[in-house]
Structure 1
């Protein structure tokens, strides 16, 4: 369901269920978390096989959840995997080529960098079937695109294309080859990548962030070669 291949400084993680548009079961979530946590590569490139990035949670798996406790555990499992992406020591780049829906959008939101091709489309469609994205989506989506856009996307279930996603900040670039962005990042100093990623992710108050920033700069400078 999840395949990995290390190519230089990039670990390519592929959601590999193209016949189901890479919908995620519990097994796939476990495999994805393991793939992200086990790599030593400075950059992880997350992609989908076939014509979609990820259709979100496998609806057969959702329908099979037996009770409230099982449903909550399923949501928490997805949240844990999203946190693994968000907290990875590697820079995690999502390359969205084709459809991202529901949990697929949520996994992308947990990545450090999101880039799309012109074929990419995005939607939070859970409300259409009486559910919603519960893998951290209601927390991350407004942080990324703002509350107004998040409300619109999550409540309407509308599909937006790559250009609209770029305008609202859901992705940072629309490119022909998302993998090239991962390679561009991987060409930089690995230690600097780790430090910059950590500093940008920091959500402490400004004074604390600035102190940590200065300390991290000094740590890197100790190995700086002019």
Structure 2
């Protein structure tokens, strides 16, 4: 059984489904990490892909770590601590680095609990839409461990330092409504409307010029780690590229001529 299911839809939307319902889509084991990386990187390399939707098969988005492999001698925790460090670097820690490098926007359609590393996986995405049944928890502390997959870096940037501390230090679950209140997700919808809503948002992104969308995502990602001056310099460089695209000329022409633009990705 494949660890992820991939579906290419109209408008350049690629849906990737975590497909290990027996573990509630745990993502800590190497085969799942490899499958996710292959899927998102292949989509990002494709000029036809405009948006990725990431969701889970079954009733959970992702339970995070596979508890069985967190025991000493498991896939992550080696007898030698120095090897455990390498297991994290060569395993699950590749995910946040890969997601940070993506140019294509990623929408997390959170169809159920997103716990621990599963919560952090949603944070790696650009847009988060939750079903009413979704729950979130930065629950590592309850297992006597720390966020080992980048959550301590990601969470404060999404919900702010104080709320990130509350979530990470208590390990408490929050429901979808609270996730929206604190800005963890942008919207909450009934469970049976989740994928339709995610696709609708994806298509609204996908109709825009491909290069402009990708460069806009990159500047949004980079800006959080740059000074204002550095961000302006990068914006000027990207804008120079955008001005020379055929889609920019088409957008201006269509607006002047009051017609629907026909973008080609050039």
TM-score (norm 2): 0.81
**Of the candidates 218, 241, 247, which is equivalent to residue 198 of structure 1?**
218
8 Å CA contact 2:103, 2:215 repeated in 1:
no
Counterpart of 1:7 in structure 2 is 9
C-alpha distance in 1 between matches for 2:134 and 2:199: 14
**Of the candidates 70, 75, 82, which is equivalent to residue 62 of structure 1?**
70
8 Å CA contact 1:37, 1:88 repeated in 2:
yes
- Structure 1 gap segments, 5+ residues each: none
Counterpart of 1:38 in structure 2 is 42
Counterpart of 1:216 in structure 2 is 238
**Of the candidates 183, 200, 204, which is equivalent to residue 184 of structure 1?**
204
What is the CA-CA distance between 1:211 and the residue it aligns to? 2.0
Counterpart of 1:22 in structure 2 is 25
Q: Aligned with 2:61: secondary structure? A: strand
Counterpart of 2:170 in structure 1 is 156
C-alpha distance in 2 between matches for 1:179 and 1:51: 19
C-alpha distance in 2 between matches for 1:133 and 1:186: 33
From the superposition, tell whether residues 70 and 182 of structure 1 become closer, same or farther in structure 2 (CA, over 3 Å): farther
C-alpha distance in 2 between matches for 1:105 and 1:154: 11
What is the CA-CA distance between 1:7 and the residue it aligns to? 1.4
C-alpha distance in 2 between matches for 1:169 and 1:219: 32
Q: Aligned with 2:34: secondary structure? A: helix
What is the CA-CA distance between 1:48 and the residue it aligns to? 0.6
Map of 1:105-124 to 2, 5 A cutoff? 105-124=119-138
TM-score (norm 1): 0.94
8 Å CA contact 1:121, 1:160 repeated in 2:
yes
Give a deviation string over 1:132-176, Cα, whole Å, max 9, x none.
221000111111111110111011111111111111111112233
What is the CA-CA distance between 1:18 and the residue it aligns to? 1.2
Deviating beyond 4 angstroms after TM superposition, the runs of 4 or more aligned structure 1 residues are none
Question: Number of paired residues?
Answer: 226
**Of the candidates 78, 82, 88, which is equivalent to residue 75 of structure 1?**
88
From the superposition, tell whether residues 71 and 180 of structure 1 become closer, same or farther in structure 2 (CA, over 3 Å): farther
What is the CA-CA distance between 1:73 and the residue it aligns to? 2.5
C-alpha distance in 2 between matches for 1:114 and 1:74: 28
What is the CA-CA distance between 1:12 and the residue it aligns to? 1.1
- Structure 2 gap segments, 5+ residues each: 254-266
C-alpha distance in 1 between matches for 2:201 and 2:69: 33
The worse-fitting range, judged by mean Cα deviation, of 177-186 and 26-35 is: 177-186
